[in-house]
Structure 1
Amino acid sequence: MNPSVRTVFNQNFTEEKYADFLVDLNAGLDKPVEFRVAETPVFLTDDFRDKLVQAGQEIIDVVTAPGFKELSERAIPDKWRVANENDHPHFIALDFGVCKDEAGNIVPKLIEMQGFPSLYGFQLHLAETYRHTFNVPGNQTIFFNQLSKSSYIDLLKETILGPYQPDEVVLMDVNAPEQKTAVDFYLTERYIGTPIISLADLIQEGDQLFYHNADGEKKRIRRIYNRLIFDEIESDQNIFDKVVDIRQPLDVEWITHPNWFYRISKYTIPFLKGNYVPQTQFVNKLATIPDDLHNYVLKPLFSFAGQGVIIDVMDDDIEKLPDPENWILQQKVDYVPVVESPDGGVKVEIRLLYLWPDGHNKPTLAINLARLSRGKMIGVRYNKDFDWVGGTVAFMHK
């Protein structure tokens, strides 16, 4: 991490400034931020930024190669397979831990991946608030590929709206206003104009979908900016008796199609190789159980936000799995507490966020998300009792 920018930031940091930052962050929002936001951004060195970009590109090369859809076909659970899948995901998120390799070098290591949207709206707002409150230097940016705020928003619009008007594209989640990420939904609406609806708001007529806008008018839906994860409705066996069954063939475009959530996921990691990918195997394909299980984590394929992960793995954890084909065993990575806080180092995870509009030959690395942790796991739900942890963003030299 960048030592010079970090030193200046820490010297000028006060709890009062952080309190002001939180006030500014929530000012004017439809709903306050419901997860912990860290006291500081991350400041990347040029060397680590370049390693991150390279690590991401090596993975992008795999998921964009011919034959990837065939390779990932088994990733999609039959009951959640949605009709009319397109040829590529519109969003790709790659999570990297800041780690040490065997030679002791600071390197990124892949932790998770998703063919699903992330906080594309909130991260922009978050970075601007950090910059304003803490006077982040003007030569620092959160964007990749020479993007600016305006060109980033243009790319976001091109990806989500495509050829349609904002009111023809809806941001949809199972119960959108109640999601912890609802702040991102409302900021996205502010930036690009997409109305926010819940699954139950969908109206079906034939194979077309409609919704009622704020004025009560019924409007045709051309595209769904999908934020719904099927895990969230799996417990309700009769969900599609009460709402539109979105798995059926419908005359609507998906941004991004729900099947990509499974194709680009933990399922994909065993097929990846390279210096930035920890050794990962499907449990049902293990020849033998490793003797050093303490160096591995056990992860369910079909879960999100770190749920179900077994960090301290025992032999019987593997042996008693009822569905070993739906689990991976992944070599632990050595997170390095590289962010200097007032009372010690803090661990970091950085998510690279790509946008892939229709008509583009490849995805564009656009922006990032970062998370700070002192606990065994990175997610904000696992760091509730600490400070200098939580959601943040990484700045780097322009």
Structure 2
Amino acid sequence: MIQSARQTFNSAFSPETYQAFIDKIHADLPGQLDFRVAETPVFVPKILTNKLLTACDDIIDTLTRDDFKTLTEAAIPAGQRVPNEDEHTQFLAVDFAVCHDDTGELTPQLIELQGFPSLYGFQPYLASQFRANYPIPADLSHLFSVSTNEAYLDNLRQLLLGDCNPEEVILLEIYPDKQKTRIDFVLTEKATGVRAVCLTKISKEGRQLFYERDGRRVQIKRIYNRLIFDELQHITDLQTDFQLTDDVDVEWVGHPNWFFRISKYTLPLLNSPYVPVSHFLSDLSEYPSDLENYVLKPLFSFAGSGVKINITQADIDEIPAGQRSGYLLQRKVKYEPVIQSPDGLVKCEIRMLFIWPKADSRPTLITNLGRLSRGEMIGVNFNKNKDWVGGTVCFFEK
């Protein structure tokens, strides 16, 4: 989107340079990269950077309201409330589609947000790989609030560890060595000492939790949570000593309840020119006549599952009245293809990544994640067998 940076990058790009770029990742982290990394970063011009920052401020104004917890009590599904919730999330990810406004100017439109960690370990590494392999302007940065990857990782380390030793903190997942995001777990451990531990490997004695580390039994004092309830529900005959809903003597770094509170459930509460109109389906006595301009989303789903982007009245009618509180009707966003590839334009989504230490009144923007798409939606299923798509990082003009 910054024309000069794009032209310079594309001139240096070739399938061979991209393959060398990917080969270097595999060499650094053998067997860990299990999702598609796009051929290019995104170069974000100042006009769009400023709008993204304003949009994030608008959203955070709602998240920091005194009554936010009251407004989102119903967001936590029955049977999935975890004890000992803190006052606010410690991670915030806000996803924007890159669009054009009525004047043709670049503008962000909110797609989703989550009070849950993303690829905080992988993104600084990915940015450094792009810089090592391609000409990236020195005055553009993938970081906010800090100026170097070292300072960024120091912030992440402080957030995860608190006053604990690294071995007393775990990254919690289910079968972490099989997760597509496992490269992030490995990089997180390299940077912080926090190791990924499977839920099935945790033992419980009273209110205390333990795991085996290098042949020793270690008490868990803090949990960096990367586990999503939705995944557990799809695993049959799962036997664990520790259930997420147990009242245990640990401090959560990213409490599980915030995954639900800051989610699609939050969208109808937001008011900003950068947030498309959203309604709980159950709140509507009649539905918009132009349903083709809306998206139907189940509130309690993950990674885009169950989303309908071309809806009709029949789609709504088949949802029982008693279940409509679990659905969201959101005005459709038109992604604008703005990334110039060698053979056409590509759509882009930008995820702004925040950390929120417990003592802070507001979250701090620290880095980002980008996703490129040629399909109808951003997800993997819509971009199979395509190039210049997948995960990436953005370099911002400020």
TM-score over 0.5 (shorter chain): yes
Q: Give the superposition deviation at 1:71.
A: 0.7
Letter in 1 for 2:343: D
Q: Which residue of 2 aligns with 1:54?
A: 54
Q: Secondary structure at the match of 1:297?
A: strand
Residue 235 (structure 1) aligns with? 234
Aligned to 2:354: 354
Query: Partners in 1 of 2:187 and 2:352 — Cα distance?
Result: 20
In structure 1, how many angstroms separate the alpha carbons of the residues matched to 2:357 and 2:343?
Answer: 44
**Contact 1:115–1:261 under 8 Å retained in 2:** yes
Point out the more displaced range, 100-109 or 152-161.
100-109
- The corresponding residue for 2:317 is 319
In 1: Cα distance, 2:262 partner to 2:138 partner: 35
2:260 aligns with: 262
User: Equivalents in 1 of 2:169, 2:122: separation in Å?
Assistant: 19
More off after superposition, 103-112 vs 323-332: 103-112
1:294 correspondence with 2:292: yes
- Give, in whole Å, the separation in 2 of the partners of 1:65 and 1:175: 37
The one-letter code sitting in structure 2 at the alignment partner of 1:321 is: I
Question: What amino acid does structure 1 have at the position aligned with 2:189?
Answer: E
Partners of 2:173 and 2:227 within 8 A in 1: yes
Residues in 2 aligned to 1:296 and 1:50: alpha-carbon distance in whole angstroms: 27
Distance 2:52 2:27 in 1: 33
Q: CA RMSD in A?
A: 1.3
Summarize the alignment of residues 68-147 of structure 1 with structure 2, pairs less than 5 Å apart.
Answer: 68-147=68-147
Please give the alpha-carbon distance, in whole angstroms, between the structure 1 residues aligned to 2:191 and 2:380: 26
Offset of residue 70 of structure 1:
0.5
Cα 1:242/1:167, change in 2 over 3 Å: closer
- What letter matches 1:388 in structure 2? W
Per the TM alignment, residue 325 of structure 1 is displaced from its structure 2 partner at its CA by 0.5
Q: Report if aligned partners of 1:380, 1:391 keep a CA contact under 8 Å in 2.
A: no
Distance in structure 1 (CA, Å) of the matches to 2:360 and 2:164? 17
**Cα gap change, 1:219/1:138 in structure 2, threshold over 3 Å: closer, same or farther?**
same
Where does residue 274 of structure 2 map in the other structure?
276
- Displacement of 1:381 in angstroms is 3.3
Q: Does the CA-based 8 Å contact 1:158-1:357 persist in structure 2?
A: no
- Pairing 1:201-240 to 2, within 5 Å after superposition: 201-213=201-213, 215-236=214-235, 239=238
2: CA distance, partners of 1:208 / 1:260: 23
1:198 Cα deviation from its structure 2 partner: 0.3
Name the residue aligned to 2:149: 149
Note the alpha carbon deviations across 1:103-159, whole angstroms, 9 max, x for none: 432100000010000000111111111110112122221001243212111111121
* Equivalent residue, structure 2, for 1:308: 306
Q: What TM-score do you get using the length of structure 1 for normalisation?
A: 0.97
Give the CA deviation at 1:24: 1.1
Matched, 1:397 2:379: no
Q: Is 1:252 aligned with 2:247?
A: no
Q: Secondary structure at the match of 2:79?
A: helix
Give the aligned length: 396
SS of structure 2 residue aligned to 1:303:
coil
Give the partner amino acid of 1:287. S
Distance 1:180 1:236, change over 3 A: closer
| In structure 2, distance between residues paired with 1:173 and 1:124 | 22
- The answer on whether the counterparts of 2:123 and 2:393 sit within 8 Å (CA) in structure 1 is yes
377-386 vs 106-115, which moves further: 377-386
Distance in 1 (CA, whole Å) between partners of 2:373 and 2:295 is 18
| CA–CA separation in structure 2 for the residues paired with 1:129 and 1:237 | 39
Q: Distance in 2 between matches of 1:90 and 1:188?
A: 16
Question: 1:11 corresponds to which residue?
Answer: 11
User: Following TM superposition, by how much is the alpha carbon of 1:236 offset from its aligned partner in structure 2, in angstroms?
Assistant: 4.5
Q: Describe how 1:156-235 pairs up with structure 2 within 5 A.
A: 156-213=156-213, 215-235=214-234
User: Could you say what secondary structure the match of 1:80 adopts?
Assistant: coil
The percent of aligned pairs where both chains have the same amino acid is 48
Secondary structure in structure 2 of the residue aligned to 1:33: coil
Q: Is the 8 A contact 1:189 1:195 kept in 2?
A: yes
The answer to whether the 8 A contact 1:147-1:366 is kept is no
Secondary structure class of the residue paired with 1:225 = strand
Q: In the aligned structure 2, how far is the partner of 1:380 from the partner of 1:391? A: 10
Tell me whether 84-93 or 131-140 shows the greater mean CA deviation.
131-140
Q: Which runs of 5+ in 1 are unaligned?
A: none
**Whole-angstrom distance in 2 between the partners of 1:71 and 1:155:** 31
Shift of 1:8: 0.8
Residue 388 of structure 1: aligned partner: 388
One-letter amino acid of the counterpart of residue 219, structure 1: V
User: How far did 1:32 drift?
Assistant: 2.7
How far apart in 2 are the matches of 1:201 and 1:30? 24
SS at match of 1:96: strand
What displacement does 1:30 show?
4.8
